Structure formats: C-alpha cells, structure tokens
Structure 1
Amino acid sequence: MMQTVTFWFDCTCPFAWATSRWMKEVEKVRDISVEFKPMSLSVLNDGRDLDPDYMEMMKANWGPARVAAKIMLEAPEKIDAYYTAMGTRIHGAGEGGKKGYGAYDDIITAALADAALPAEFASVANTEEVDEDLRTFHHEGISEVGDDVGTPVVKLGDTAFFGPVITRIPTGEEAGEIFDAAVRLAQYPYFFEIKRTRTEMPQVRDN
C-alpha cells in the first residue's frame, strides 16, 4: 500500500531542499508518494525582531512562497515541478540568499516556464493577494509540530516533525533505509526529537 508523505517547504530554505531531494530519492526505492505543500519562513518570522540582514532575506522570500500558494490553489498537481525548478536554481545553481522585495522575480518567471505553469502566476509575488491562503497553508504545517520550528515539516504516517535535517543527499537503497528508520521513530508515540550540533550547511550545489 502506497504511503503518502506530506512535506511543507519554503523554496528558499537549503535544509528543506536537501531533505526534499532525499524524499525524491526515496520515491524511487520505496512505495511512497510525496505531497508537497507550501509554508513560509517570511510568515514564520513576520513581526519578529531579528537581524536586519536576515529580515531583508525574509522580504525576498515572500515572492516564491506567494507563487507556491497560488499554484497550490489553482494547479496543485504542478507544485512539485515548481519547487524543483525553483530549488534547482536557488540551491543547485547557488542563486539563493537574495535580499529585498522582488529579488526572486526573474527566477520565479523561469521556474514557472520550466513547470509549464501560466506566466501570470508571477503577478502575486509582490502583492498580498494570496497571503491569507499562504498563511493557512503555513499554519497547517506548523499545527502539526508546534511553534518552535522552521522548514521543512515532514509528516510520516500520523506524526510530523521538523526535519529530518540533513546536509548531504542519500541515494539508492541508503535513502530508503534512512527513511525506514525515520518512519519507525515516527511510529513511537513518545518520540519527540533527536539533535546534535550541525557542522556544515547543506551541500546541494550542482557541479
């Protein structure tokens, strides 16, 4: 029986990207289907008193997340393709970390074309037209895990977690074995978290 894994993402988050590419590898070796849904670091950090440089990145991050919400509303079958097209540019090609409203507009336009989505979807990137819907999608994921998290949020069976956080992307049977272990942990109702100090950022640049 095919298992659905629900995966809440922000296009700009390198940790979500690494974990999502692992999930795509797992789809090749396990009977699972990954259902992607948007969440937003900009929504998560809205109104917080954080480092000014970081908050400039949060301004830029609104655009990709708003477009993801538009796609989820009108063409949800394309959300995976949009995320892949965005992530390949932002993370694979090293075009992330942009600052200021509208900074990802060119990447959004290219990603919509790659995903065979209407170019006019980009129009919501710099408006508040879908913000209520984006917040709803975001809070759907957050409600599964609590407030003290970021992206990704991954639901395995009946249980969701922030993470798993990985910095390299396992492939083949190793990807499946790590997934099996994560599912087994999720099945134990009293397991909540496991953590250690991270010593590197995700290594996801295309060579």
Structure 2
Amino acid sequence: MAQKVTFWFDTTCPFCWVTSRWIKEVEQVRDIEIQWVPMSLAVLNEGRDLPEDYKERMKAAWGPARVFAAVATDHADKLGDLYTAMGTRIHNDGRGPIEGSFNDVIAEALEEVGLDAALGEVADTTEWDDALRAFHQTAMDEVGNDVGTPVVKLGDTAFFGPVLTRIPRGEEAGEIFDASFKLASYPHFFEIKRSRTENPQFD
C-alpha cells in the first residue's frame, strides 16, 4: 500500500523547492502517493515587520500562489506538474520577478502543462485570495503558525520541513524518506533543528 505524503508548497521558496525535488526522487524508489497543496509565504507573513527587500519578494509571491489556488480547485491533477514547470524556471533557471511579477513564468508554465492561459490572469486579482487562504490554513491547522515552507505530512503527522539544502538522489532519497516517515510515526517526536551553513543548491 502506498504511503501518503501531503506536500504544502509556495513555489517561490528555494528551500521548499529542494524538499519537493527530494520527494519527486522518492517517488521513483518508494511506493508513495503525493498530494500537492498550495500555501503562501505572502499570507504567512502578512502584518509582520519585515525587511523592505523581503516585503517586495512577498508582493511578487502573491501571483503564483493565486494561480495555484485556482488550479488546485479546478485542475488538481495538474498541480504537481505546474509546480515543477514553474519552480524549474524560478529556481533552476534563476527567473526572478520582472517589475514585481512572475507573470512571464506563470504564462510559460501554464502553456507547458496544457492549462488555459487565462488562469494566469488571476495572478493580478484578489479573486482567489479566499481560496488561497483556505488552502494555507489547512497547513497551519496541521503544524501551527510558527513555520515556513514546506509543510510535509507523512502518513498522519505533519511537520515544517524537512529543510534540505541539497537534493538527495536515488536510493539515498528513499532511505532519508524511510527515516523521516519513521520519526513521523512516533507520536512524541516534534522537531530537529540546527543552523544552516549553505544556501539551497538545485543540481
């Protein structure tokens, strides 16, 4: 029987991207069933006292998250593919926002996965904000508010993280997953943390 993984993501987060690529590696070597769910760093950081450069990043992050809320609602089967298409452009290809927007990346990714280009128009509206907040809240309900992305649920237990800076490949990815799933199965385990010494790498 497939082990269930629920993965809440914000496509603009590089740490989330590394963890998601690990889970995609795990998919090749373990019997898992992944459910992708959007969350939003922009929602998470609303009202917080942030550095100006990070505030600008959060403004740009709204667009992709809104698109993912719409896709998760009406085209959930395309969600993982769209995340891969958009995340590859943002992280592997280094495509940051242009004039505060990821609209070019959104349009290209929608076309790649065969979704209507009109979905990209919601990036600049508040039409899907309530749905996005609802998706985001499902992650917060699992782990509390003092977290970031990703939130990953392994079986019946969710955590913030794991936070990785490199992508485990092949059987190593599977072994790390096995260990993570084992920790998640112990009801009294809550967290492991240490200071990061490097930035995320995507190769």
TM-score strictly above 0.5: yes
- The answer as to whether partners of 1:60 and 1:99 remain within 8 angstroms in 2 is no
Distance in 1 of aligned mates of 2:190 and 2:98: 34
Q: How does 1:58-207 map to 2 (within 5 A)?
A: 58-96=58-96, 98=97, 101=100, 103-204=101-202
Write out per-residue CA displacement over residues 70-120 of structure 1, whole angstroms, 9 at most, x where no aligned residue. 000110000001100011000010113x3764x100000000001110000
SS across alignment from 1:180: helix
Gaps of 5+ in 2: none
Q: One-letter code of the match for 1:187?
A: S
The residue aligned with 1:35 is 35
- The answer as to whether partners of 1:64 and 1:108 remain within 8 angstroms in 2 is yes
Q: One-letter code of the match for 1:87?
A: G
- The answer as to whether partners of 1:57 and 1:100 remain within 8 angstroms in 2 is no
Distance in 2 of aligned mates of 1:86 and 1:200: 24
User: In the comparison of the two structures, how many residue pairs are matched?
Assistant: 203
Gaps of 5+ in 1: none
- TM-score of the aligned structures, taking structure 2 as reference length: 0.98
The residue aligned with 1:3 is 3
Moved over 3 A (4+): 98-101
The residue aligned with 1:25 is 25
